[in-house]
Amino acid sequence: MKTSFRVSTLLSALLAISCTLILGCNKKAPDASASAASAPAASTAVVTAPAPATNATPAEETPEQREQAQKKALMDYAKMEDQYINDSKAQWANEAKASSTFGEKNSSGPSSSSVAANAKGAVDGKDWTNNNQDIGFDWLELSYEKPVSATEVRVVFEGGDGVEAISKIELQSTDGKWNTVWEGISDQKRDKRGNRTWFVRSFEKTSYKAKAVKVTVANNLERGYKVIDAVQLVGE
């Protein structure tokens, strides 16, 4: 009797344990996908990578390219000068005088290669040279055969000597009055493309007829002698 009771008790205990184990196994694990869905979304910042630095060095010109560039510059200069020299509206001076002439303070007098008369006529390599390198002002005055209503003056500096010193251009009307058409500090530099540098200034067509041009240089603006080959008066 006691033995049967013990066996029955033992079987009941085992049955209880089995049920517990079975119930535990049948419980569902939390749904990972649902948890993930319910979790707040993490912010995803878009980071743009900086553009890589470009340290590319320009290709160096070849000797042939440099030679071609030099030839083009010479051709451009030739075209410019040819246009000026053959301008049908331009005329060259027939008389000239100046404030000073190189060598005039010497006992032998001024050099014939530097007198104002050399600035008459077209470009020819004969020049007027002043006698001051860095003191005061000098001027060159030129007269023309035909008075015109002027629009431009072109001053030709041999080698460019003195082009940065030019400070004023005046025109003389047929009644003898001088009129300033340009005054200031020259922005023209020596033109290394050719043997001459052209200082060109355009202005409104004058209401009067101009018969003469006066070019003034400030000697301390560009130290050294100033050398002018010719001066054109442009107008009709």
Question: pLDDT, tens digit, for every residue of 31-60?
Answer: 444 444 444 444 455 556 666 666 667 788
Q: What does the mean pLDDT of the chain come to? A: 85
How confident is the model over 183-224, as pLDDT tens digits? 999 999 999 999 999 999 999 999 999 999 999 999 999 999
pLDDT at 39: 46
Q: Determine if residue 123 is left, alpha or beta; phi over 0 gives left, psi from -120 to 50 gives alpha, anything else beta.
A: beta
Domain 89-235 adopts which CATH fold? Jelly Rolls (2.60.120)
Q: pLDDT at position 22, please? A: 46
- 173 SS3 class: strand
Q: Is residue 8 pLDDT above 80, yes or no?
A: no
List the Cα angle 198/203/206 in 5-degree steps: 125
| Single-letter amino acid code for the residue at 186 | S
The structural domains of the chain, with segments of one domain joined by +, span: 89-235
**Alpha-carbon span 211 to 198, nearest angstrom:** 21
pLDDT number for residue 50: 64
What SS3 state is found at 158? strand
pLDDT in tens, 11-29: 555 555 554 544 454 444 4
Q: Is the C-alpha dihedral spanning 212, 218, 221, 227 positive or negative? A: positive
